[in-house]
Structure 1
């Protein structure tokens, strides 16, 4: 399993993360967890809203069925979304959310806590106070964000003492906005519109790990692009290069993300045992520059 530096911490973590959003749909969650760990995926990503908390409970219950030790895992969770109502970065909400996640996960600490989506009513001082308390109590070891732009991160970091070491962002072969805006600098095309605030370059400059969520999802609809008849050119190229690199389209789509030098992790949200193995085994594939760009073009992108 390829390892990457986790932000500025100096800690090495697996480049593939198992996303636990669908843990409540797994036929055998204990087998899913064991398969992940057997293949080097010891990093698990949760959120307090996944399955309304049920996914964290299922994870803890089934982890206990294995011989895997808590200290051998990197467990991350997210908070800040009150579904259908609001986003809440208040001190009380963050602390209560973490305490509830710890109880559901049956652990004393989170290796990482991310703020799930930006709260426009955020008061950085309240976030800082919550982080200080959680860090002092040993309940959270590292902090980060999810779906935040550079200005939002700078605003938080201006007050928060702990370094923000990770940012979860949607990224994959069919969700390439953060790359497009860089390639189309000084152009008039649609791709030149800066929607992500140059988050890719910012993350590299600030030594933040990008965690790519939904890397296999088509950008316009909630469906995967792999083996999807709506995307024949991309799948033809995936099949062709998968054979060249002795992997599968799932593995190749993951390797495409990890080929970028921006210190990324892939969040694999599958509960399918075979796909977990395919994605893990492909983590060390190093695509050539030409093959990387061939896949980018096959996904419907154009070079200026």
Structure 2
């Protein structure tokens, strides 16, 4: 497993992190096996959110780390907050960056994770009604009190980041964005810049260039998915050409197709970190070697084109 610095922080994190959105519902034994597998593969970074399984994912993760006797300093914990769904179905879910909501959400997450702090906390999606002064005071309190060491965002474009950053004392170190071979709009737009075709449409506001300019770490979520949770493209007949190229490179490198797909993300000079959400120990072991595979430029472009993208 290779490691990288997150943003401008002192943290050296595994280039592939374990995302636990799907951990809710796992038995205590299953969760222990999943977490131990990730640790055995060199993953030291775990990502959760207060809404994953209505908080259950974080609780199961915290219990698994406790059961395994993992020292707090040996892992990097990250959570996200700012979404306020109603799991009873009695009202509409909303986004909420109010001080009361953020503090109560983070306090509950710390309890579920069985820790007194998280290393990173991310604002999950932008609250259109955010009071910027209140948010600045709240995030300063969270860091100054030691509840979180560093802050970041998720699913936000450059102008939203700039707006928030102007009112924050702490640097936004992370932006968690969907990215992968079948969700490659951030790079496709750059290659089609100034053209009049659909691929030139900028749906990310230049998020990739912005991250490189500011030193933010992009965390790529759903790296093996197409669409938004539509399914994986690995061994999917809809993506026969892509799987053919993945298989060829995988055979030459002695790794899995999953590892090659992960390596494609990590090859980009933005130095992204991948959030792997698999709860299957076998697949976790298949994915992990991707951090150690360095694709050639030709291989990277071959995969990009096989995924249905073109070069103008």
- TM-score over 0.5 for the alignment? yes
Which residue matches 2:88?
none
The structure 1 residue matched to 2:77, chosen from 71, 75, 78, is 75
User: Offset of 1:219 from its aligned partner?
Assistant: 2.2
Which residue matches 1:15?
15
Q: Is 1:148 matched up with 2:150?
A: no
Task: Provide the C-alpha distance between the structure 2 equivalents of 1:26 and 1:103, rounded to a whole number of angstroms.
Answer: 19
The structure 2 residue matched to 1:186, chosen from 194, 204, 215, is 194
Structure 1: gaps of 5 or more residues: none
* CA RMSD in angstroms, aligned pairs only: 1.1
Q: Is 1:283 matched up with 2:285?
A: no
Task: Provide the C-alpha distance between the structure 2 equivalents of 1:82 and 1:147, rounded to a whole number of angstroms.
Answer: 16
User: Offset of 1:90 from its aligned partner?
Assistant: 1.1
User: Offset of 1:220 from its aligned partner?
Assistant: 6.3
Deviations 1:4-30 (A, max 9, x none): 110011432111010000112446100
Q: Is 1:259 matched up with 2:273?
A: no
Q: Is contact 1:49–1:81 with CA below 8 Å preserved after alignment?
A: yes
In the superposition, the TM-score normalised over structure 2's length comes to 0.95
The structure 1 residue matched to 2:282, chosen from 262, 274, 279, is 274
User: Offset of 1:221 from its aligned partner?
Assistant: 6.0
Which residue matches 1:234?
242
Q: Is contact 1:212–1:265 with CA below 8 Å preserved after alignment?
A: yes
Deviations 1:226-281 (A, max 9, x none): 01111111111111111112111111111110010101011100011111112212
| 1:192-211 matches, cutoff 5 A | 192-211=200-219
Which residue matches 1:61?
63
Task: Provide the C-alpha distance between the structure 2 equivalents of 1:220 and 1:203, rounded to a whole number of angstroms.
Answer: 22
Task: Provide the C-alpha distance between the structure 2 equivalents of 1:220 and 1:131, rounded to a whole number of angstroms.
Answer: 30
SS at match of 1:283: helix
Residues 1:68 and 1:221: Cα distance change in structure 2 (over 3 Å): closer
Q: Is contact 2:15–2:274 with CA below 8 Å preserved after alignment?
A: yes
SS at match of 2:77: strand
Task: Provide the C-alpha distance between the structure 2 equivalents of 1:64 and 1:220, rounded to a whole number of angstroms.
Answer: 33
Task: Provide the C-alpha distance between the structure 1 equivalents of 2:141 and 2:236, rounded to a whole number of angstroms.
Answer: 47
Q: Is 1:52 matched up with 2:54?
A: yes
The structure 2 residue matched to 1:128, chosen from 114, 129, 136, is 136
In the superposition, the TM-score normalised over structure 1's length comes to 0.98
User: Offset of 1:294 from its aligned partner?
Assistant: 0.3
Q: Is 1:223 matched up with 2:231?
A: yes
Which residue matches 1:87?
95
Q: Is contact 1:5–1:263 with CA below 8 Å preserved after alignment?
A: no
Which range moves more in the overlay, 99-108 or 121-130?
Answer: 121-130
SS at match of 1:253: helix
Structure 2: gaps of 5 or more residues: 86-91
Which range moves more in the overlay, 124-133 or 205-214?
Answer: 124-133
SS at match of 1:120: coil
Task: Provide the C-alpha distance between the structure 2 equivalents of 1:25 and 1:238, rounded to a whole number of angstroms.
Answer: 32
Q: Is contact 2:261–2:290 with CA below 8 Å preserved after alignment?
A: no
